[in-house]
């Protein structure tokens, strides 16, 4: 059974620790990624996500802990370049060179033949409506288009495992949706993806597993269904008032776990597990000046905020 698990696991990290001068960046961090996963690696700024990714790629070394990669039935400490794709959070390409030249070079460093790389690059540029700009210098492209080129450079060589750090930043909503589809498509073709992002609504459309960290420590590690089961079973109600939010009055309603003002005139109310909506809405109808009510289950964004806020070291 253990052998079978190891065969399916692509990446396993155990008890990873890393300390910078005054900051404990990682604290006994453990998680594993299986073949075919879209693994969401989430955390607020400074949580240790980028540090973890850099350790995975051996750019910096951990103080303790272990990392194991599994490819083709072999355990390796660091995969061969063709097996890995990496979209770093810190974007950068050769701005003074033609787009196609940079893409072919980056793919050829990862072992792709130049002709093959050129063909694949042109196919991707075509899909992203940038084929006619292949020979332009990168600096001539908009920030959003540069982001597209950066994305292409990380997956052009068809890696078995892609690490995408904030792949949606700098993209408009239309292109964000397109990228979601591209990532799904690559995953269907067999690419395992480790996705680090702050955009929870986009992540929850894609990921099947999630690891949430804060201050270098794992707060949750499991499947998306497990995180919803553990934290997403409570109902939330967003209420807008004409005037100031009567927070104290709302908190006195039966079934209310918490109520906080989010924006001026708006409150987010979390109901206790098992609270029936009809009696709650009857109470709410008695409140003065309600203009809008939206009821929904806790989404990943809400869970993320709750877990991080509750996390005490």
Partner 1 sequence: MSPFSQIITVTLWEFRRFFKPKNELIGIVVMLFIFSIGFLGGRYAASGEETKSELVVADNTDEYLISMLQESFEVTLLPADETGKHIGRISETEEGKYLQMQGDTFLLHAWEEPRQLGTLKGILDEYDQLRNMEREGVSGETLEKIFQGASLEETYFQDSFRRNRNIVAISFAILMVLAVFVSFAYQFTAITGEKQIKITEQIVSAIRPQRWMDGKILGITLTGIASVITYSIIGLLAGMLVSQFTGYSVFSVFDSLYFPSLGPTVMLFLLFTILGILFWNAFLAAVASLINDPNNSGKTSFMMVPILFVVLSLLVLNNPDGTPAVFLSWFPLTSASAMPVRIAVSSVEWWQVAGSFAVLALAFYFLRMLASMIFRFSILMTGKELSWLEVFRALTAKTPGKFQPPQSE
Q: Rounded to whole angstroms, how far apart are CA atoms 85 and 78?
A: 13
Stretch that binds partner 1, among 18-26, 127-135, 233-241, 270-278 (CB under 8 A): 18-26
Q: Rounded to whole angstroms, how far apart are CA atoms 81 and 198?
A: 27
Burial of 273 (0-12, 13-18, 19+ CB in 10 A): exposed
Per-residue binding letters, 29-68, with partner 1 (x by CB under 8 A): -----------------xxxxxx--x--x-xxxxx-----
Stretch that binds partner 1, among 89-97, 236-244, 254-262, 303-311 (CB under 8 A): 89-97
Q: Rounded to whole angstroms, how far apart are CA atoms 115 and 127?
A: 19
Q: C-alpha 166: how far from its chain's center? A: 7
Q: Of 107 and 237, which has the nearer Cβ to partner 1? A: 107
Q: Of 58 and 123, which has the nearer Cβ to partner 1? A: 58
Touching partner 1, residues 118-177 (CB under 8 A) = 150, 153-154, 163
The yes or no reply on residue 21 touching partner 1 (CB under 8 A) is yes
Helix axes 114-127, 99-109, angle to 10 degrees: 130
* N- to C-terminal Cα separation, the chain: 36
Taking alpha carbons only, the member of 271, 247, 282, 275 closest to residue 261 is 247
The yes or no reply on residue 82 touching partner 1 (CB under 8 A) is yes
Taking CB under 8 A as the criterion, the residue among 92, 173, 274, 286 binding partner 1 is 92
Touching partner 1, residues 93-122 (CB under 8 A) = 93-95, 97, 105-106, 108-111
Closest separation between CB of residue 51 and partner 1, Å?
Answer: 5
Taking alpha carbons only, the member of 283, 185, 287, 200 closest to residue 241 is 287
| Spatial CB neighbours of 248, under 8 Å, sequence gap ≥ 6 | none
Q: Of 20 and 281, which has the nearer Cβ to partner 1? A: 20
Closest separation between CB of residue 136 and partner 1, Å?
Answer: 17
Q: Give the residues lining the site for partner 1 (CB under 8 A).
A: 19-23, 25, 46-51, 54, 57, 59-63, 80-82, 84, 86-88, 90-95, 97, 105-106, 108-111, 150, 153-154, 163
């Amino acid at each position: 059974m253990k052998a079978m698990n190891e065969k399916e696991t692509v990446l396993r990290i155990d008890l990873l620790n890393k300390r910078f001068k005054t900051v404990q960046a990682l604290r006994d961090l453990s998680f594993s990624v299986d073949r075919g996963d879209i693994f969401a690696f989430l955390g607020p700024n400074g949580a240790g996500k980028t540090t973890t990714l850099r350790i995975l790629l051996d750019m910096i070394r951990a103080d303790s802990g272990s990392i194991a990669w599994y490819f083709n039935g072999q355990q390796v400490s660091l995969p061969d370049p063709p097996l890995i794709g990496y979209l770093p959070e810190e974007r950068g390409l050769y701005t003074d060179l033609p787009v196609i030249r940079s893409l072919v070079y980056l793919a050829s460093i990862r072992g792709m033949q130049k002709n093959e790389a050129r063909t694949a690059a042109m196919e991707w540029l075509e899909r992203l409506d940038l084929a006619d700009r292949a020979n332009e210098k990168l600096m001539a492209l908009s920030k959003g288009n540069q982001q597209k080129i950066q994305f292409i450079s990380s997956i052009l060589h068809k890696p078995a495992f892609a690490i995408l750090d904030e792949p949606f930043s700098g993209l408009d909503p239309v292109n964000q949706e397109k990228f979601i589809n591209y990532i799904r498509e690559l995953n269907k073709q067999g690419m395992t993806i480790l996705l680090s992002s702050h955009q929870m609504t986009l992540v929850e459309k894609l990921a099947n597993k999630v690891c949430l960290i804060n201050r270098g420590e794992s707060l949750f590690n499991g499947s998306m269904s497990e995180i919803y089961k553990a934290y997403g079973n409570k109902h939330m109600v967003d209420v807008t008032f004409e005037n100031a939010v009567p927070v104290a009055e709302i908190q006195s309603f039966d079934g209310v776990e918490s109520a906080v003002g989010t924006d001026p005139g708006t409150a987010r109310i979390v109901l206790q597990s098992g609270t029936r909506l009809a009696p709650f809405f009857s109470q709410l109808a008695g409140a003065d000046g309600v203009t809008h009510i939206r009821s929904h289950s806790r989404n990943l964004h809400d869970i993320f905020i709750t877990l991080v806020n509750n996390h005490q070291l």
